[in-house]
Structure 1
Amino acid sequence: MGSDSLPSKLTSTKPTPIPTNELDDDHDHDDSPSTAALLSFNTDSSSSSEPLSTSNNKPLFIVLILVTCISLSVASAFAYLFFSSRSSSSSSTTTASSATSPSPSESHARPLTKLNRPKVILISSDGFRFGYQFKTPTPNIARLIANGTEAETGLIPVFPSLTFPNHYSIATGLYPAYHGIVNNHFLDPHSGDAFYMGAIDPKWWLGEPLWETVVKNGLNAATYFWPGTQVHKGPWNCPLNFCRHYNSSVPFEDRVDAVLSYFDLPSDEIPDFMTLYFEDPDHQGHKVGADDPQITEAVSRIDRMIGRLISGLEQRGIFDDVTIIMVGDHGMVTTCDKKLIFLDDLAPWINVPDNWVISHTPLLAIMPPSGYSPSDVVAKMNQGLSSGKVENGKYLKVYLKEDLPSRLHYSASDRIPPIIGLLEEGFKVKQKRSKNKECGGSHGYDNEFFSMRSIFIGHGPQFARGRKIPSFENVQIYNLVTFILNIKGAPNNGSASFAKDVLLSAA
């Protein structure tokens, strides 16, 4: 790590574990009381108070026998229909239940058939909003879902729901305040140095990412584009042929083929952990929003890449042995000109010049110079925003970072500016009015918004087939991978029991 004071301060901060996302593995039981009697018959001849006349005994006796026989036949028919219906209902309930939970035969992980130890491929499709998979046929993604485990209503990003903070949270299991990548662009308040997305100085990248953990445990890792992988940290030195430097012009097909080629190496040289990254559909989402036909084509393209990967693994006879974890880093929401807020409109209350603003949108981050009280700035900004005189002002609320909702976990780093503004979904902040018109898409909003969710699909020997699990934050993925690889991980914000809740137990 770097020698500046900020990393040493952050690494001494004890991460706050989040509650376990306990899964309810118990099935509903039929607690209805046992059925007593379907129909009641009184066949006791002594119930009659008057003796039968001897002259009418025989005919009456015959009538009674006939009535009794008919009644018993009717009762038997009703009983048969009742129990048949009940049995059918019970059978349907069992079938529905097994569709969302592992069958008895799926209680244990499936053994490897060709590989000698677990292999994990972690795939990120940038900006793959949950629900995109329903926009167009995605047969290959659907195959992973049908034969694997899916977060039923999506994967929850960390805040801010931006690319670099989330990719590094997935890799480290830490919230941005603890791993140090608090935004796509930010300043070190001590040195004044600026972080940008190509920065590879280890001083920025705190925590221990999966590729470092894997190598530290004596295994092999290979990364094909993932934020932070070019950084030399600990035992990880971005080895030639196993660490590709980011280049957006590399065709997606070449990326998939490179990962597949690792499986042609001698068995003891095959990486145990691999990453694979695609820029789509984030690239299209920013240009056209979340609902444009270009998104549909981008999603289809990603599905074709998943199909290419599956086909390559099948040709090598190892598809069922390899664990594939497919995720996205965040979602996407459509934004247009009518949803703009201009900081210059706050001039009657306070002047917020451009050089105070670290980022405008969708995460408003402000660092006033010394001599200005952050609390006074917040008070005056909120006064103007709530006055009804600032266009769309009610859709922005400004906080001191320590007053942000605790669920955001966004206050424990000096790299986070003292003033943070939270926007309502789809709104954007600009410094001043202009005649430029725009309508596209954005992300970075409160991770509570459903539109910010992405996908999680796990397929492999330790994932139950056809299982749906509740949504969870992406800081849990680090522990999931270390559990599958059976290695010791670094301290993180994930739950220690999460992997045991999600994965099948060892055979």
Structure 2
Amino acid sequence: MFLFIYSSLLIVSIQSIPILNTTSSSLPLLLVISFDGFRWDYPDIYDLPNFKSILKRGVRVKHIENSFATVTFPSHYTMVTGLFEETHGIVANTIYDPVLNDTAVVSTMTDTKWWSQNPYSQPIWISNQLANDSNQRRSGVIAWPGCGTPINGHRPYKYENYAAKRPFDSVLEQIFKWFHEPTDTNINFGVVYHSEPDVTGHRFGPISSEMNKTLHEIDNYVGQLLQIVDSDEYLKTHLNVIVTSDHGMHDVDKTRRIRLERYIDTSLFSAYGGNSFANIFVKNKSDIDRIYQNLSVIPNYEVYKKSQIPDEYHYRSNVRIGDILIVGKVGYEIITPGIEETESLGNHGYDNRVESMHPIFYGFGPVFKNNLLAEPFRSVDLYPLMSYILHLNQRQTNGSFDNVKHILIGYRQDNFSKYLVIVCIISVTILALIFTICAYRHSRQLVYVQSNQVPVEYHLLSNNEEAGHRFGPISSEMNKTLHEIDNYVGQLLQIVDSDEYLKTHLNVIVTSDHGMHDVDKTRRIRLERYIDTSLFSAYGGNSFANIFVKNKSDIDRIYQNLSVIPNYEVYKKSQIPDEYHYRSNVRIGDILIVGKVGYEIITPGIAETESLGNHGYDNRVESMHPIFYGFGPVFKSNLLAEPFRSVDLYPLMSYILHLNQRQTNGSFDNVKHILIGYRQDNFSKYLVIVCIISVTIIALIFTICAYRHSRQLVYVQSNQVPVEYHLLSNNEEAGSNFLVTDSEDEEINI
């Protein structure tokens, strides 16, 4: 009956979840624009009306949590691959590869070997083309780092390399021409890069009149973009646009710079990276510690050996990352050997967790929510977002689509989550009800005993362990003593069996307090031979002693004197092992000394004995463990059971006596396995069955919902890859990427 009601509720909830809108048969359209060095808070500092217009018709994310290193080439490659820098291999704007034994800077990083270090790296423009929707998917890329270089054998269908003097309105004009070409040559995915406001930020700083002018120029470009989209009904209805950036910008000045050669001998290392961080490759690995120590004393700079680089950087597992990484605190710069100082007033490349390093994100179009200021996500999450917009199968990357769902209206995750929460609440409520009913039916009734009703038949007996101490645990005398005790047990059994009431109702526990181990005179020490008796007093037994030091300033000295004694464990009070549960009491000494099993301690004033057996050692030692036997109506029969702890005896006896369980250090759960009166076994089986059924139903519902609400994935067979994808050999001559001719302006600092 329960399962019928439960299933009915869940099916009704599924039917009420709206189905995701199906996409049209036409290819999805996406345009991605990156304005280099556009800090997340520029739109708030400088009044930019067209960026505000994007927010009204789309989404603004508070900021992007970008990856380290926060510089142009690594960040842009992360954006289009969804991989951290340590994974894709573009670790800086200046790279040294010890395997290739070669170096590259932005103007020479045009060879396949730099971009194809990881054979899994696949820019989103290649993923779009390889999806192979009737040979119609084509990507066009303008000026994006790496776009003109074959990456693992592929280039975009259309591309134009970076040109420093090219105005951005001509870039917009070209990319939309590609969108509007005939169906056999047009693109469905465009990616463009613009070097501003990074250039202005470096020259004049992030807060300046020059930056205000540059940002308003960019805002005008955004206005042109909006006009182009709004003037074309098809683009207005189908095109999704992302406006983002790679990193932010922070103010710098000459007073916050160091030159590496002033701290370490330049013959010992080479350094690559940028002015905010440097990968230091040490020529002789034996010098790493010395160089690390020299650099570590410099204030306002973070220095890490490669193994110590913070996990948050995701910047460790690549041969192109140096033996030592030095990173300036935000605003502080590093001048590496051979690099000239500049007049820059702004820089980036710092810790990716620093607020001023975070870039912008805006999105508008049919998949984005409207007028939403959204929570941040990471730059590696851009790849799965673009894959979703382009209807691509999600590749495994460092990003997660779950992190970007909140900005989308095409993905009905919100409603689904609400229904799933309702289903989970119903499920938990029903399970709790089942648990309560089963627990009530299968639990034993608890009897609360008043203090004046305690029975007197407890027979507290004297402690008699004389034979073990006198003759040792393995001896003829012990054999005789144990047989005497065994005879007492025989008498006990006869008494119980002769009384029908006792036989039916009496539960009997036969147990002990500890075990016994053999000792002899050759394994003893006298404490006064190691420490002055006037400094302490000692209490305990022959196997351990609590030492109370009269003057607390003597504790360390006494501890050191005792610690050199072999075969004895010595602890300051705070160091006593947790397993002892022997620390938090004023009656425990400042120092505890415990003999290893079989070794004894003679404290001052105590005479030596002729004992051949002793106890009191580490409670984890096997020979210290005592017995437990139990019989009667609550105990199982003929059972050799697993061990439990002495503190668990109290809850066991409380259960047998029908007492309310008091809070102690013991646990009734540890002794349930020896009882037949406690019906835990059957209850557990029923509960497990109920849980399995519930989880199965929830999993089935989740699968159905996910199937109904997911976007259709397109799987590409290897033999279906079209020839238009420009499969290139790794040694093919690449075009001039990010190369400035003599007629152009000076190369920009990115």
For normalisation by structure 2, the TM-score amounts to 0.49
**Native 8 Å contact 1:210 1:478 kept in 2:** yes
Aligned residue in 2 for 1:395: 300
Whole-Å Cα distance in 2 between the matches of residues 357 and 370 of structure 1? Answer: 14
| DSSP 3-state at the match of 2:191 | strand
| DSSP 3-state at the match of 1:258 | helix
Aligned residue in 1 for 2:244: 327
Aligned residue in 1 for 2:131: 217
Deviations 1:399-453 (A, max 9, x none): 1122011010000101111110121110012358999783511000001110001
Aligned residue in 1 for 2:168: 252
Aligned residue in 2 for 1:183: 92
Aligned residue in 2 for 1:237: 155
Match of 2:271 among 346, 357, 360: 357
Aligned residue in 2 for 1:405: 310
Aligned residue in 2 for 1:228: 146
1:157 is the counterpart of 2:62: no
Whole-Å Cα distance in 2 between the matches of residues 435 and 456 of structure 1? Answer: 34
AA partner of residue 218 (structure 2)? I
**Native 8 Å contact 1:107 1:504 kept in 2:** no
- 1:42-191 counterparts in 2 under 5 A? 116-152=26-62, 154-191=63-100
**Native 8 Å contact 2:385 2:401 kept in 1:** no
**Native 8 Å contact 1:367 1:417 kept in 2:** yes
Whole-Å Cα distance in 2 between the matches of residues 435 and 419 of structure 1? Answer: 22
**Bigger mean CA offset, 432-441 vs 225-234:** 432-441
Q: Report deviation, 1:360.
A: 5.5
| DSSP 3-state at the match of 1:237 | coil
Distance 1:357 1:274, change over 3 A: same
Gaps of 5+ in 1: 1-105, 386-392
**Bigger mean CA offset, 279-288 vs 315-324:** 315-324
Distance 1:432 1:461, change over 3 A: closer
Aligned residue in 1 for 2:389: 484
Aligned residue in 1 for 2:294: 380
Q: Report deviation, 1:379.
A: 2.3
Match of 1:302 among 204, 218, 233: 218
Whole-Å Cα distance in 1 between the matches of residues 343 and 143 of structure 2? Answer: 30
**Native 8 Å contact 2:138 2:156 kept in 1:** no
Q: Report deviation, 1:108.
A: 6.8
Deviations 1:162-182 (A, max 9, x none): 000000000000001111100
1:340 is the counterpart of 2:254: no
Distance 1:437 1:267, change over 3 A: closer
Distance 1:236 1:131, change over 3 A: same
Distance 1:221 1:360, change over 3 A: closer
AA partner of residue 379 (structure 1)? Q
Whole-Å Cα distance in 1 between the matches of residues 229 and 365 of structure 2? Answer: 12
1:201 is the counterpart of 2:108: no
**Bigger mean CA offset, 229-238 vs 461-470:** 229-238
AA partner of residue 458 (structure 1)? G
AA partner of residue 376 (structure 1)? R
AA partner of residue 125 (structure 2)? W
AA partner of residue 380 (structure 1)? N
**Bigger mean CA offset, 462-471 vs 279-288:** 462-471
Aligned residue in 2 for 1:276: 192
| DSSP 3-state at the match of 1:310 | helix
Q: Report deviation, 1:116.
A: 2.8
Q: Report deviation, 1:187.
A: 0.9
Whole-Å Cα distance in 1 between the matches of residues 339 and 42 of structure 2? Answer: 33
Deviations 1:175-216 (A, max 9, x none): 011111000011110221112224222221141110111111
Distance 1:183 1:431, change over 3 A: closer
**Native 8 Å contact 1:288 1:441 kept in 2:** yes
Whole-Å Cα distance in 2 between the matches of residues 171 and 355 of structure 1? Answer: 33
| DSSP 3-state at the match of 2:32 | strand
Gaps of 5+ in 2: 1-17, 413-750
1:498 is the counterpart of 2:403: yes
Q: Report deviation, 1:268.
A: 5.6
Distance 1:209 1:436, change over 3 A: closer
**Native 8 Å contact 2:95 2:105 kept in 1:** yes
Q: Report deviation, 1:466.
A: 1.1
| DSSP 3-state at the match of 2:223 | helix
Whole-Å Cα distance in 1 between the matches of residues 348 and 372 of structure 2? Answer: 29
Q: Report deviation, 1:499.
A: 4.1
Aligned residue in 1 for 2:372: 467
Considering Cα pairs closer than 8 Å and 6+ residues apart, tell me whether 1 or 2 has the greater RCO. Answer: 1
AA partner of residue 277 (structure 2)? L
Q: Report deviation, 1:394.
A: 1.3
Aligned residue in 2 for 1:440: 345
Q: Report deviation, 1:361.
A: 2.0
Q: Report deviation, 1:353.
A: 5.0
Whole-Å Cα distance in 2 between the matches of residues 271 and 433 of structure 1? Answer: 44
**Native 8 Å contact 1:284 1:294 kept in 2:** yes
**Native 8 Å contact 1:128 1:454 kept in 2:** yes
**Native 8 Å contact 1:367 1:418 kept in 2:** yes
- Output the aligned Cα RMSD: 2.6
AA partner of residue 297 (structure 1)? K
| DSSP 3-state at the match of 1:356 | strand
AA partner of residue 89 (structure 2)? G
| DSSP 3-state at the match of 1:303 | helix
Distance 1:233 1:360, change over 3 A: closer
Distance 1:304 1:111, change over 3 A: farther
**Native 8 Å contact 1:135 1:296 kept in 2:** no
**Native 8 Å contact 1:173 1:476 kept in 2:** yes
**Native 8 Å contact 2:69 2:351 kept in 1:** yes
Aligned residue in 2 for 1:75: none
Deviations 1:368-413 (A, max 9, x none): 113543233212321xx2xxxxxxx310121112201101000010
Whole-Å Cα distance in 1 between the matches of residues 395 and 146 of structure 2? Answer: 17
AA partner of residue 364 (structure 2)? H
Whole-Å Cα distance in 1 between the matches of residues 278 and 155 of structure 2? Answer: 35
| DSSP 3-state at the match of 1:325 | strand
Deviations 1:454-506 (A, max 9, x none): 10111111110011221121000000011111112432100142343432235
**What is the number of residues matched between the two proteins?**
385
Aligned residue in 1 for 2:359: 454
Whole-Å Cα distance in 1 between the matches of residues 37 and 19 of structure 2? Answer: 34
Distance 1:472 1:354, change over 3 A: farther
Q: Report deviation, 1:134.
A: 2.3
